[in-house]
Amino acid sequence: MRAVIQRCKRAKLEIDDKEYSKIDQGLVILLGIGNEDDIEDIKWLSGKISKMRIFSDNKMTALPPEPRPDKKEGATGQRPANEAPLR
């Protein structure tokens, strides 16, 4: 599961040239979910996103990441050192 998060002053979603939804200041999130992702992954990522401090009213800082529940023992929720960054 991956998420690309972008702050916006305003955004809208159009489908077939018709406005479907719009927001003022907020977040635009592009979310990728794979077949191997489960409800625990969704809970972990949504919790992490909801706790982000990225607007000027809270000094643009972020909380430390919480450990990610994972099927692999010892997983931290951090990208492995040998995994290439997303582009």
Pick the closest to residue 12 from 1, 2, 21 (CA basis): 21
Residue-wise pLDDT for 29-84, tens only, equals 999 999 999 999 989 998 888 888 776 665 444 445 566 666 554 445 555 555 55
Residue-wise pLDDT for 3-14, tens only, equals 999 988 899 999
Q: How far apart are CA 25 and CA 27, in angstroms?
A: 7
What is the reported pTM? 0.55
Cα atoms in the Cβ-side hemisphere of radius 13 Å centred on 53: 10
